[in-house]
Amino acid sequence: MTGSKETDQIVETDVKASPPGKWKKWLPLGILVALMAAAFSLGLHKQLTLSNLIMQRQDLIGFVDQNFILAILVFGLTYVVCVALSFPGASLLTIAGGFLFGWITGGLVTVIGATLGACAVFLVARSSFGEVLTRRAGPFISRLAEGFRNEALSYLLFLRLTPVFPFWLVNIAPAIFQMRLPTYALATFFGIIPGTFAFAFIGSGLDSVIEAQEAADPGCATAGTCQIEISALVTPQLLAAFFALGIASLIPVVLKKVRAR
């Protein structure tokens, strides 16, 4: 009996002495930040340029023609990683998808990859600082979080459709408000469809733009000096259409408030 009591006391002492385990919540965030730091320090984000795409286009097109399924998988995984690591240049990668696979296939793979990458960031943020910030939030933030959760789908659709807020910021903000993952994934998937397919469509016509530049300045494609600006491909009418879609996503919220009054 005495030995049993001593054993129980030792076990109980070990349990009390062990760390609370809260660090496990911060482990995914630590890993993500470490990967981001490593990727940026190696300059991997600098490879996502239009000039690199133009210079490598023949090799890339040849690889896609010979290994179509593998190329789609590699592109999709690359998009997931780029979004998860918050790399800049997501619009350029979307254009590359349309350029390599056509606007329908490229757009679809991009939507899936971007959604998966965004969900990964969301889960990491929600499991770490999202819970802490929610607990320590003041009255204003608490009311804002409650309102966001009540109309989460419409609000997130607005943020996704409107090309004003950075993609990485919209990935993290809903985590602070403890948004449910299914709603987040649904709003992200459908919210990025218009912009994604628009940029993929631009990418599908990029080859003709390159050929025109090559005709005016022979050898510019190989040298990567073709004067093509992405900003020139995105028209004000296209941005206005995105804004209109974003405003339309808030119509259910407005109607609900009007009926409540």
Instruction: Tell me what pLDDT residue 143 has.
Output: 62
Looking from the CA of 182 toward its CB, the CA atoms found within 13 Å total: 0
For residue 138, count other CB atoms closer than 10 A to its CB.
8
CB 165 within 8 A of CB 159: yes
Instruction: Tell me what pLDDT residue 7 has.
Output: 42
Instruction: Tell me what pLDDT residue 127 has.
Output: 77
Residue with tokens 């757009």: 107
User: Which run of H or E residues covers position 76?
Assistant: helix 68-84
Instruction: Tell me what pLDDT residue 9 has.
Output: 47
Instruction: Tell me what pLDDT residue 10 has.
Output: 41
Looking from the CA of 40 toward its CB, the CA atoms found within 13 Å total: 10
Q: How far is CA 174 from the centre of its chain?
A: 13
Q: What DSSP character marks residue 128? A: I
Q: How far apart are CA 160 and CA 190, in angstroms?
A: 9
Dihedral of CA atoms 232, 43, 29, 71 in degrees, nearest 10, equals 70
Q: How far apart are CA 180 and CA 164, in angstroms?
A: 24
Give this prediction's pTM.
0.75
For residue 155, count other CB atoms closer than 10 A to its CB.
21
Instruction: Tell me what pLDDT residue 68 has.
Output: 94
Instruction: Tell me what pLDDT residue 148 has.
Output: 73
Amino acid at 219: G
For residue 3, count other CB atoms closer than 10 A to its CB.
7
What are 89-129's pLDDT values in tens digits? 778 889 899 999 999 999 999 999 999 999 998 988 887 76
Give the residue ranges of the chain where pLDDT is below 70. Answer: 1-25, 45, 129-147, 212-239, 241-243, 245, 249, 252-261
Q: Alpha helix locations (H) across 166-205? A: 167-176, 181-191, 193-204
Instruction: Tell me what pLDDT residue 199 has.
Output: 87
The dihedral built from the CA positions of residue 15, 18, 20 and 25, taken in this order, carries a sign that is negative
Q: How far apart are CA 50 and CA 77, in angstroms?
A: 20
- Of the candidates 196, 201, 42, 199, the residue with the CA atom closest to the CA atom of residue 118: 196
Q: How far apart are CA 75 and CA 63, in angstroms?
A: 12
CB 125 within 8 A of CB 184: no
CB 160 within 8 A of CB 258: no
Retrieve residue 77's tokens: 């995984």
